[in-house]
Chains A and B, each alone.
Chain A
């Protein structure tokens, strides 16, 4: 299918679900791209995975009660995020084990709940792998509104999130409420996951959070640039993925994630400074590579490019 045909279909009133799906996919991947930067930089991918699974029982309950899937998922996800944050205060069991316990526990609860609903098999697949049909208009506004709130909070608390990411001990000494900032960040991650579930599905939603941000990290050493690149990569992957999915009749969630993964691999190979191939090309034959990321050397203080107190 050509791009023109895709555009025609997007404008076709009989296919009204298609532009809706595109709008939701793009909005949620932009939000996930921004929030994902913190997830990637703090190494909290496992938490992202946990809340993605933890929203499942909420969705199951919402499905059984015919309520809003997004609201149900949000409630369950936030509750689990809070439980993880509280239980992780006990240092006897490490945080990753706590996350593991709640991740699987919540998912199991979701499976048990949804098995009580008649005809659950089809709906189960829709939850797990995403779908572009049957999105109510209400969800469009809910996702848009939630997305704006999430981005607003990120903008408002960015400086604090960065300080806590950089150095928790120093942040505490500055009087920052580290525990509450963690909770807010967990909740933001949860909400970003929840609004993305509809199109991407429960299993693959982690990719929207991690992959664009990880690709952006490979492309830049500046946080501001990274936080602009990640949503661009996410939004573009969602658009291209939906186009390919529509053209070749492939599952939409899987296709979007594959496009994002391809972008990540491309970044890994040809990123301007740190790409694997880029470094190889730049190295003149027979010479050692000039590795800008070489580990710190103790003797650097004596290095001429480093004006040290004694030199001045």
Chain B
């Protein structure tokens, strides 16, 4: 059974078509990069997978069952600006907030919950900073808090929205290693990015998206310049193509 299967998905936003005929699958152990320019529908696709946006047609199956909000098979890591970083909360409590839905109303976190938070913090190497207010963290540390918050549910599928944006190269590299090792532990990882270098470097498979899936394959198999000019709407002489050929 596939970890994630998107079949003939159409999504409209405000009456305009954003995604058309999306077919996409994700298996455990894969780290798939979803690449496309701004407005390509990357975030919308993630939101459709999470059943946070209404779909026009098609279906999304998570481990064989239709997707709906609150399913703990999927861990979601939204873009960093979605989080209120000036909130007076420590790293460990921010990570625990990821279990709010699972806990349910009127229940307080117990030993199991704190153990899950501890494991997640270990996983992203933030254990020593667990009591620090989130407002005092660097960009890379913040990204790892969000990953830990998703991991606190022990999900088998991880959706990451632009995890590399606004981070410098060493930080990107470290996060890339973390995602690779998560995929190595039988997680299915899907991340959006418009950072080509980081994606080619870390992903086992790339999906080029611009309203529809333009290409889907191993980075080495996506050498055809036309795919990239079509996806990103750039000219034949774009530096982007030099990058693709160099990788």
Contact = CB atoms under 8 A, between A and B. Distances in A.
Nearest to B99: A174
Contacts of B112: none
Secondary structure call for the A interface:
helix
Contacts of B89: 162, 166, 222-223
A217 to B, nearest CB: 7
A210 B68 CA distance: 38
Contacts of A173: 50, 52, 69-70, 74, 76, 78
Of B90, B97, B98, B170, most A-chain CB atoms within 10 Å: B97
Interface stretch (B25-33, B139-147, B213-221, B238-246): B139-147
A221 interface: yes
Interface residues of A, number: 42
Given A162-B89, A298-B138, A307 B128 contact: yes
Interface stretch (A23-31, A275-283, A289-297): A289-297
B100 interface: yes
Interface string B60-90: 0000000011110010101000111001111
A162 B135 CA distance: 15
Interface residues on B, range: 35 or more
A96 interface: no
Interface string A147-159: 0000000001101
Contacts, number: 135
A167 B83 contact: yes
Given A166-B83, A306-B129, A156 B105 contact: yes
Contacts of A168: 82
Interface string B94-117: 100110111101101000000000
Contacts of A309: 124-125, 174, 177-178, 181
Contact of A221 (B102, B133, B141): B133
B88 A220 contact: yes
B44 interface: no
B137 interface: yes
Contacts of B68: 175
A219 to B, nearest CB: 10
A139 B22 CA distance: 61
A156 B104 CA distance: 11
A163 B178 contact: no
B226 interface: no
B177 to A, nearest CB: 5
B136 A169 contact: no
A172 interface: yes
Contact of B98 (A170, A175, A296): A170
A312 B137 CA distance: 19
B218 to A, nearest CB: 25
A300 B138 contact: yes
B139 A298 contact: yes
B100 A174 contact: yes
A159 B78 contact: no
A86 to B, nearest CB: 19
B197 interface: no
Interface in A264-312: 292-293, 296-303, 305-310, 312
A165 interface: yes
Q: Which 9 residue pairs of A and B lie closest in terms of their CB atoms, listed nearest first?
A: A175-B70, A174-B101, A300-B138, A298-B168, A296-B138, A163-B100, A175-B69, A221-B133, A301-B140
Interface of A: 41, 156-157, 159-160, 162-163, 165-176, 217, 220-223, 226, 292-293, 296-303, 305-310, 312
29 contacts: A156-B105, A165-B87, A166-B83, A166-B94, A167-B82, A168-B82, A169-B78, A169-B82, A170-B82, A170-B98, A172-B69, A174-B101, A174-B102, A175-B69, A175-B70, A222-B133, A223-B87, A226-B88, A292-B136, A296-B137, A296-B138, A296-B141, A296-B142, A297-B139, A299-B170, A300-B139, A305-B128, A306-B141, A309-B174
